[in-house]
Chains A and B, each alone.
Chain A
Amino acid sequence: MNFTLSWLREFVDFKRSAQELAQTLTMAGLEVESLLALPSRQEKHEDWVMAVAVTPNRGDCLGILGLAREVAALTGGHVRLPPVLPHAKGSGIDRLVDVEILSPDLCPRYSARMVLGVHVAAAPDWMKTRLEACGIRSINNVVDVTNYVMLETGQPLHAFDADRLATKRIVVREAGAIEKLTTLDGVERELAPGDLLICDGATPIALAGVMGGSESEVQWDTHGVLLESAHFHPACVRRAAKRLAIHSEASHRFERGVDPEGTLYALDRAAFLLVEVAGAAPVEGVVDRYPRRAKPASIVLREKKVSALLGVDLPRRETERILKALGMKVRGRSKAAVRVVPPSYRRDLAREADLIEEVARLYGYEKIPSTLPLVRPAGGGLDRRLPRERKLRAFLLGEGLTEMINLPFTSAEMNQRFRGLWGGERRPVAILNPLAQDKAELRLSLIPGLLENLRTNLAHKARSFHGFDFAKVFALDARGAAAEKQQLAGLFYGPRERTGLRSKDGTPPTFLEVKGIIEGIFEVLGIGPEPACSKSDIGAFLHPANAAVVRLGDRDVGYLGEIHPDFCEASGLEPFVVFELDFEGLAEYAPRQLTARPLPRFPCVERDLAVVVDDAFPAERIVRWIKGLNHALIEDVEVFDQYRGSPIPEGKKSLAYTISYRADDRTLTDSEVNQLHQQLAARIGGLFGAQLRM
């Protein structure tokens, strides 16, 4: 709400400077967003335009009168009203127009006056200047008067050209199924059931509280004017304005609540101004249909509740002083409470809490002390997830990955290519009102975001890019229910960088190095079962061979792999590896309970075993088989080398394992271990068709 201080001064006296007033209003909840000096010829009459951000509950402050009431309450001044021209007693108007309200719930009150013989012309300069300073374009003296009064009172007015009304019968009703109205802005609007219409007989001439129709608008040849000053239901106005995307000064005010008791004052004020600036002759009488008179709220305010909610003991005298300053009437008192009736323009005050806010607001938030509450144990338990998230991040940072935070929006095309870990029957979540067509879906996978980050950084000449994203992905199931889960993805492009002198021998992380990082993640999270890699079809974006699903028990919890060479070629990229893990799924595995083992008392004996197997033979099979024996003397087994080439025949490879033997009650003898090892080697040779290399 923009207004000039000179205009405000017509309604209330105050001694404060413009800056002081701005501070006072801001600290009372009417935030002054800007204060601009108006150019003026005389220094003495300096004027200011003040812009106040009026919160949606304070429709009463969308008029200077309402602001003046606030200023008076805050500074101890008195509000004075500008001159009006009350209607003369008589039924003149009834002979010219009739008003019928068919939807009284949506239109609780409709008041109207009429003037004749107007000379439509440009408004006088003083009026134009004020309107323009307040951000309203001048049209002509009649329309300007309606806007001027709206700015003063907060009551939107509408002027109809009385001669263009065919039936002289104003009907307020809801729109039917197929109706149209061309509004003042020249746009033909399709109306919908539930829209409230002002009709000339059966013909719509205005969309109530939103915008008038062009048919009945005041024009240069207009003589008779019907002034509408009505009260419309806020939600009804809002629905229509929203649907038609019209945001007018009138709809803005009706949505936020206009004083239903103020319709006649606004008409009388407008009549006064029309006589003054348009030479109008007022018709005697007034039409005032008021089928739904709102019962004023009567609110009990308990003294104890005030002090308990605010944390400060206010003397009752102070509370009552504040309530009265705000125009409230005290209708009864008991030892512990007062009964209060708020004024009709404060439609936001209906409950005790509303009054407490008013008391606090006028008392001053700054005068309420600061205290620290006693925190009682809530029994919610410690958060398990936060420490795990922090450990995970710390681990990844140590591995050289930088955290990315990406918007979750992506295109349908990207979602088709990168389906993440969702099963086949899942569909992407679409945004009904997207910001752009290539942001019309929510991501199924974090990979597209990381690819975008890679591109951004390569464009800025980054030599390498190692990034991770730890965020949610979204999908719909077959029944259309939305699911979301926290996921972790990483991308490793180029060799990991070192500070200092540049080394020439860096290579990008390989599949196995990234697998190592995934194993590290499981270790950091303390997840009991060990992850296993298996071949599975994850998506065409991955390398057909150098890619694997990460399984935990019988569940797929992630994947890793090289991006498909075709993709890299098409994008001019070197080969690189990505991974994506379902953190939500991992989080279900409780951290393993750690129990420390004592150090072994007897030495360990290590023996190596090398076997020649088919190229496709998975090294892990022999490890699993040996571990599966649960042999009391076999402590550990690990694969430590893989070799292809001479003298190993084509199509074969050599795998080398180290087996650790240990007894926990004695030192094993060489011959004992040799015997055990030979037996083991022989069984492995037989079981896996492996040729032993001794």
Chain B
Amino acid sequence: MSFLQNNLLSLMMIMPILGAAILLIIRHNDPEIEKRNIRQVSLLITSITFVMSLVLWAGFDNSTSAFQFVEQHAWFGDISYYVGVDGISMLFVVLTAFLMPIVVLASWDAIQDRVREYMIAFLLLETLMIGVFTALDIFLFYVFFEGGLIPMYLLIGVWGGLNRIYASFKFFLYTLLGSVLMLVAVMYMYLQSGTTEIPELMNYSFNADVQSWLWLAFFASFAVKMPMWPVHTWLPDAHVQAPTGGSVILAGVLLKMGGYGFLRFSLPMLPEATIEWSWLVFALSIIAIIVTSLIALVQEDIKKLIAYSSVAHMGFVTIGIFLLNTNGVEGAIFTMLSHGVVSGALFLCVGVIYDRLHTREISRYGGLATNMKIYATLFVLFSMASIGLPGTSGFVGEFLVLNGSFAYSSWIAFLAATGVVLGAAYMLYLVRRLIFGELDKEDVKAMPDLSLREKLVFAPLVAVVLWMGIYPNSFLEPMHASVTNLLETHFSTDVTHAAASTTGVPAGR
């Protein structure tokens, strides 16, 4: 193992910080050249990080559920800097690194004010996001998990839309409120088990009485982050007000932290409470799928519509996770990855026309298929992926989740499936209003099709959406061993799972 292999995760986290430091010292007399240099350095840094994430993927051993690329250094007290990835987290790291260069490219012309600060905020956010998915110490996880609020708060507040201040406060305080309860639970778990290491905690079986409380505390945090109905209301505000790049990262990566948290903490550490409370998750998820889909149908604002569709998709994810069978969990992870790419792409699509007309009102557009042919094609493709058309990435995840839910309860499968229908309804309705119809507005007629830079932004997204849809195994294989191990260790059968969690094969070791 080379130096690069041994320290890959740390290097991936240091790289953006290094980039931010370089941005600080870039100076030029001509502000335009300075901005250009800043953008180019940001693109270079995020691209290098992405390449490193590909090295990570290439070096990842699919056959084991153990944590890989592990690094551990003592920090203070019992707490250590401890990072590593397994099949559940590895692809999220790749997703994060993949979206970052795209975000930088998408912000190329859209952001003209305080470019330096904007890019620094994004680079720091990247470090924190990678940290969340790789942390193997629960304290370290919390630091990254909460620390990400600061750059996101600034991104929404400084570069956001008209109502950005309300949105940024709501985003920050909502998520913080959920998380502090989790912190109390983290403290309790640390004091009970005497360790903050996640692999150790996975093997520790907590007293059944307190498991429920701990589970609810984690649930408060992750449910807000997901977001689940009824604590989703910060999301439409934050999405609508955030700059395009912020929306992409919010939908693409930050929303995945909730689902990742359930998989990393709630399921393996609190298996009994997970089974006990899964009815709550199912109920809330099904309400989310149906209610927010209906809400999405009546939206007049494109970004809001996509934001509500995100809540609905996350409903599938939570159902999948708590089905506690292989199809469900893998489907949930796959849906998260797919949604990260597709909703990111959809927000970028909105950004394209917003940059041209500076409005997100659906009725101000129409007939884009006539004058923006490439754009219309892409938009329809991503909408289909969002609906879950076979051959696109969205299909695989939804199919696996529905498949898994049939094995669990046909009622859940039936209700969740109505969400698919409603999803098709609101997306097709959006496409009809935006892309088709009469091209009767003068300013819309004057809108040019995609520029070369914009095509460059969308090309990798199209490729990934189709790749995930046509050959999903590339993505399912790395997660398979870890998911199987998670379920077998902690949920082998309903009766013996308690014994299994104490005597079974240690998860992740």
A and B: real partners? no
> Residues on B close to A: CB < 8 A?
none
A interface list, Cβ under 8 A from B: none
